[in-house]
Copies of this chain bind each other. A is one copy, B any other.
């Protein structure tokens, strides 16, 4: 089972993630890497921590910045490499954008909807109950072997609405 279907909590989720879940996810991710036969180096460990510590759904360069605070010489390529491995092991969810950098969710690597602010480019989890396992039903009805669902809501976040109640600005993503 992926996510319970009726967790109807409300609104946008930007909780700082409690210690326990943090450590649990961290171990899961490390285990997944080891499982695949790749080493959990210090830089990779730091990358995982940066990824989990942020509630921003960080981009590769944001992660890079975070890792560099501990290991200044780290190359961007290392971040891209490791993210690639995490994708392969299903330990990170990639949220694609064509007009700006992709964003990554390491906390909840399974498909789930997000709220994307077109103005400030915030990306938040939207932990409203999703329909009722759309993946399965869509697979059955369409004949596709559905492996991933992307659902993103785009608009202006309450903060930006307060700041400038104008409508669409910023990024051109659909």
Contacts and interface: CB of A to CB of B under 8 A. Distances in A.
Interface of A: 10-12, 87, 93-99, 102, 111, 115, 117-118, 126, 128, 131, 134-135, 138-139, 141-158, 161, 167-168, 172-174
Pairs A-B, 9 closest by C-beta atoms: A94-B174, A146-B155, A143-B158, A148-B154, A96-B98, A150-B152, A144-B155, A145-B156, A151-B151
Number of copies of chain A assembled together = 2
A166 to B, nearest CB: 10
A117 B144 CA distance: 8
Contacts of A152: 149-151
Contact of A94 (B147, B155, B172): B172
Contacts of A93: 174
Contacts of A128: 138, 141-142
A155 to B, nearest CB: 4
B153 A146 contact: yes
Contact of A147 (B10, B143, B150, B168): B168
